[in-house]
Amino acid sequence: MKTILDIQKLSVSFRTDDGLLQAVNNISFTLNQGEVLGIVGESGSGKTVTGMSIMRLLQQSEGSSIKGKIVFEGTDLLKLSEKNMQNIRGNKIAMIFQDPMTSLNPFLRVSTQIMEVLVRHKHMSKRKAHQEAVRLLKMVSIPQPERRVDNYPHQFSGGMRQRIVIAMAISCKPHILIADEPTTALDVTIQAQVLDIIKELKDKINTAVILITHDLGVVAGLCDRVHVMYAGRMMEKGTVHQIFSDPKHPYTQGLLHSLPRIDQNKDELLSSIPGQAPNLITLSGGCPFFPRCTERMDICLNTYPGSRAPSQNREVQCWKYEKQETNNV
């Protein structure tokens, strides 16, 4: 399977009044053509920052930085000029943003915003682009698309605005689609339609998808591989079957145990991960999950583990697998 995206030692930090915030910390992963890769984790774990880094939407400023490599089809995106990046952004790599309220310009008609992408990247005439905008709105189940395509964003519900954002993202049939919580504001019927659209893109034009989500049910039904993030780190990587059937990292285990089960006793309380996510400004050099971990060891406090391979096609960053990995060698 062809690797379309290769992220190497990506770190993203922001300068704040309280100190340096390490949003993403030395993560590496690949994305294959036609693959759906799920990135899961609590809010603040660095999932969205990772997606925005790939799109080059984070501005570097004094004290803030993006380091590492983001290699897309053989080209390091971090080394491209803004002009060259504009030819990729929205065309070859597109993103469905989490908040449709801020993703659409309130002063422009929906048709104008969709047509802009098609005219810029696909060199369509305005007439043809308008027809394509209507087709895209119909695809994402906007009622009466021929009439509503020229409405303004405030004339749509929140769920409809999210579907419009999805229509814009898929308009150029991108090589990579980054979907940041694409079903959060939608009811279950529309969620299913959106996921079908993503599956159709994958199956028909071999689009690779990075799915950023809290919904582990969506991950189980759509993804091929899963990466679990916590406090800017990739804690565990594996196939969707491996992660759900045999989670290795204590954090991954905690996430899965907190899910309600259909066979669970109705009087049984849901499990939860104790404590809170750490302050990313005051992190120590050890494992960020240390204060909440039920299997922590002394070494975890001040020393971060490297990647361990407890089984084939698995990566876990946890000291508890050091001895097991040594025995497997």
Annotate 27-91 with DSSP letters as a single string.
Answer: EEEEEETT-EEEEE--TTSSHHHHHHHHTT-SPP-TT-EEEEEEEETTEEGGGS-HHHHHHHBTT
Question: Rounded to the nearest 5°, which phi and psi values hold at 164?
Answer: -65, -40
CA neighbor of 273 nearest in space, from 244, 249, 309: 249
Q: Are 231 and 278 in contact (CB under 8 A)?
A: yes
Which pLDDT score is estimated for 311? 74
At 142, which helix (H) or strand (E)? none
Tens place of pLDDT per residue across the chain (329 aa): 799 999 999 999 999 888 899 999 999 999 999 999 999 998 889 999 999 999 999 877 667 889 999 999 999 999 999 999 999 999 999 999 887 778 899 999 999 999 999 999 999 999 999 999 999 999 888 999 999 999 999 999 888 888 899 899 999 999 999 999 887 767 787 788 888 888 888 888 889 999 999 888 889 889 999 999 999 999 999 999 999 999 999 999 999 988 877 777 777 777 888 888 899 998 888 999 999 998 999 999 999 998 888 777 789 999 988 765 444 43
Tokens representing residue 250 in the block = 């204590």
Phi, psi for 27 (deg, rounded to 5): -100, 150
At residue 209's C-alpha, the angle toward residues 258 and 34, to 5°, is 125
Whether pTM > 0.85 for this model: the answer is yes
Residue 182: other Cβ atoms inside 10 A: 29
How far apart (Å, rounded) are the C-alpha atoms in residues 183 and 216?
12
DSSP conformation class of 271: P
Domains plus CATH for the chain? 3-92+174-278 (3.40.50.300), 104-171 (no CATH)
Query: Kindly report the CA angle at 55 between 199 and 318, in degrees rounded to 5?
Result: 80
Q: How many CB atoms lie within 10 A of CB 100?
A: 22
Q: 315 in helix, strand or coil?
A: strand
Q: What is the pLDDT of residue 130?
A: 97
- pLDDT of the residue at 62: 66
196 near 189, Cβ under 8 Å?
no
User: What pLDDT is attached to residue 327?
Assistant: 40
CB-based contact 293:221 (threshold 8 Å): no
At 40 the pLDDT is 95
- CA pseudo-torsion sign 63, 17, 181, 157: negative
Torsions phi, psi of 194, nearest 5? -65, -45
Residue 286's identity, in one-letter code, is G
Structure confidence by residue, pLDDT tens digits, 247-298: 999 999 999 988 877 777 777 777 888 888 899 998 888 999 999 998 999 9
**Encoding tokens for residue 31?**
């994305």
